[in-house]
A and B are shown apart, each in its own frame.
Chain A
Amino acid sequence: MLCAAAAELANGDVVFVGIGLPSLACNLARATHAPDVVLIYESGTIDTRPDRIPLSIGDPALVTGAAMVSPMTDVFQYVLQRGHIDVGFLGAAQVDKAGNLNTTVLGPYSRPSVRLPGSGGAAEIAAHARRVLVVTRLERRAFPAKVDFVTSPGARVARVITDQCIFERDNHRNELVLSALFAGVTVDDVRARVGWELRVSNEVRMLPAPGERELKALRSLRRA
C-alpha cells in the first residue's frame, strides 16, 4: 500500500502531507524515485527532509534542515489557497462513493457515537490541491455509500489507495471506480468491503509487489 502510494508521486511534485500513512508514503517516495519532491506540512515546514519518520506533523525533525519554516497563516494562504500544491495527501476514517472524506464524527454531529479528531487541514487541502490522494485501509465500515459527515469534499480526489486495491475517481459520474488490485485480491473481495454497487474499470491493473529497493528504503526510514 505504501509503495503504491509513493509511486503516485512524480519527482518534483509539490506535496502537502497529512500525518500517518501519507507521511510515510511521501518520505518513501523521496528516498526512492522522487528525491526532488517538495514536501510541505501544515505546521509550516516547507521543502522538509526529516531524518526520522515524524510521529506528528510538527515534529522537530521537520524543522532541522528544511528550506523554510513559515507561520501557518503563510502556508495556508500563500501556498495552499494561492494554488501552489500539486498533490494533497490525506488519510480518512471514512471514504464514500463520491470520494468525500469523513474525519469528524460517526453518527449525527449533535449526538456522535464516535467523535473523530476533526478536519485539521484536510478540508482546505481537499479544496485547493490540484490532485488529492487518499491512503487508508479497506474495510466495509470505512467505505459507506455516503459518509456520516463530509469533512473534506471529494471533487479533487484522484485516487484512493488501500491495502487491497486502488480506486480511481470518475469525475463525470462522481464516483470511485476500482482500477487496480494487489496480488491475491479479487474483485469480489473488494466488492464485499464497500457499501455501494462498485463499478469496475474495463482494465483492472495488477499491482506489482514492492521491489527490493523500496523494501530496503522502507526498513531504513528511522522512526521517531
Chain B
Amino acid sequence: MRDAVAAHVRDGDVVAIEGFTHLIAFAAAHEIIRQQRRNLTLCRLTPDIVADQMIAAGCLSTLVFSWAGNPGAGSLHAFRRAAESAEPAAPPRGRLALDEYSHFGMVGRFAASAAGLPFWPLRAYRDTDLPVANPNIRQVTCPFTGEKLAAVPALRPDVTIVHAQRADRLGNAQVWGVTGVQKEAAFAAEKVVVVVEEIVDETVIRADPNRTVIPGFIVDAVVHEPWGAHPSYAQGYYDRDNDFYSRWEPISRDAAALEQWLDTYVRSVPDRAAYLDKFPGLRQRLAAKAAPSAAVNYGY
C-alpha cells in the first residue's frame, strides 16, 4: 500500500476513492493521510467517514460529491465545519470547496469520462436550485427532438482507487454485491489502483469472467490488503461495522477528539494490519456468514 500511494497519488491530484457504502478503500485513504498528501480533490458520491477523516487530516481542498451524511447515525461534522467555515484558511479550518451534484449527476460525470465523452446528458434538475448553485451543471438541446436536457461535465480523476474482493496479479478485479460506480470511476481515470481482500490465481478469474468488473489492462497497481475496507464492508468477507458508524458521530462532532482519533488509529500505526490490532475481536464480530451461490457452467 505504501508503495502504491507513493507512486500514484501526488499533491494536488484529483482522486476518486469509490465504493458506494460497499468496498470503500479506507486503508488507502489512511495511507494517503500518513503520507501527508495535500490539496487533493476527492471524488465520491457519498463522502462517508473516509472523507470526514481526510478533511480533518488536511488532505483535501475540494470535494466532488452528491450526498455527505452518516445515515442513521448523524452528520459528517468535519465536512460540515469545513463547508460552513468563513475563515480565511485552508480546510479543515477554512472553507472546503464543493463541486456538488445529485447521485445521477455524479454517475453521469464518471460515465462520460469512462466513455471518452466530454459530457453526459440527463433528464434532471428542472425546477431545482442545484444548477443555480453549481455552474458546472448546464443545458444541452437534443439535436433530434429539440428537448432541453441537463448536461454534466466528464470527471477524469488523476487516479481512482477501488477496493474489490479479489483480483489476479494482472489486476483483473472481481466484485460482487453493490458495485456502485466502481467500474465507471476506474475507466474514467488516468491511473487505477485496485486494493483486494485476496489475490487469486488467474485460473480463478478466468473460471468466472462475467464477475470481472475491472480488466487488468487499465490497472496500474494491485495491493493485497485484507480488511482494507473497514469500517465499510466486503460482501462475502465481512459486515459493515454499523457500530463504528454510529460511534463516529460524537468523535466527528468534536474536532479535538477527531484529531486524537486520527493520531491513534491512522498516524501512529504503520499499516492496516496494525490498525486492526487496535480493535480486538473485530474480525470475529464482523466475519461474514456463508451465503454461497451455485456454480454455473461456462463450458460449451
Residues of A within 8 A of B (CB): 19-20, 42-45, 55-60, 62-65, 69-73, 76, 80-81, 104, 109, 111-124, 127-128, 149-153, 155, 224
Instruction: Please report the C-alpha to C-alpha distance between residue A128 and residue B72 in the assembled complex, in whole angstroms.
Output: 26
Contacting residues, chain B, for A20 (C-beta < 8 A): 71-72
Smallest CB–CB gap between A188 and chain B, Å?
32
Other contacts beyond A55-B240, A70-B179, A118-B69: 8, CB < 8 A:
A20-B72, A104-B100, A111-B86, A112-B84, A118-B66, A121-B67, A123-B130, A124-B102
Smallest CB–CB gap between B87 and chain A, Å?
12
Is B83 interfacial (CB-CB < 8 Å)?
A: yes
Smallest CB–CB gap between A217 and chain B, Å?
20
Q: A43-B178, A73-B111, A117-B69 are in contact. Are A59 and B21 (CB under 8 A)?
A: yes
Instruction: Please report the C-alpha to C-alpha distance between residue A64 and residue B83 in the assembled complex, in whole angstroms.
Output: 36
Is B80 interfacial (CB-CB < 8 Å)?
A: yes
Instruction: Please report the C-alpha to C-alpha distance between residue A55 and residue B75 in the assembled complex, in whole angstroms.
Output: 14
Contacting residues, chain A, for B181 (C-beta < 8 A): 71-73
Is there an interface contact between A150 and B104, defined as CB atoms closer than 8 Å?
no
Contacting residues, chain A, for B84 (C-beta < 8 A): 112-115
Is B22 interfacial (CB-CB < 8 Å)?
A: yes
Residues of B within 8 A of A (CB): 20-22, 45-46, 65-69, 71-73, 75, 79-80, 83-84, 86, 100-104, 107, 111, 122-130, 132-133, 176-181, 183-184, 233, 235, 239-240, 242, 245-246, 288, 291
Instruction: Please report the C-alpha to C-alpha distance between residue A104 and residue B67 in the assembled complex, in whole angstroms.
Output: 9
Smallest CB–CB gap between A59 and chain B, Å?
6
Smallest CB–CB gap between B72 and chain A, Å?
4
6 of the cross-chain contacts (CB-CB < 8 Å) are A71-B181, A71-B183, A104-B133, A118-B65, A123-B102, A153-B126
One of B103, B125, B235 near A72 (C-beta < 8 A)? B103
Is there an interface contact between A224 and B21, defined as CB atoms closer than 8 Å?
no
One of A60, A104, A150 near B22 (C-beta < 8 A)? A60
Smallest CB–CB gap between B203 and chain A, Å?
25
Is there an interface contact between B128 and A123, defined as CB atoms closer than 8 Å?
yes
Smallest CB–CB gap between A132 and chain B, Å?
13
Of all chain B residues, the one with the shortest Cβ separation from A147 is: B129
One of B45, B67, B86, B128 near A152 (C-beta < 8 A)? B128
Is there an interface contact between B180 and A151, defined as CB atoms closer than 8 Å?
no
Contacting residues, chain B, for A121 (C-beta < 8 A): 67, 102-104
Instruction: Please report the C-alpha to C-alpha distance between residue A191 and residue B130 in the assembled complex, in whole angstroms.
Output: 30
Closest A-B pairs by Cβ, 5 of them: A58-B21, A117-B69, A120-B67, A119-B102, A153-B127
One of A118, A119, A127, A149 near B123 (C-beta < 8 A)? A127
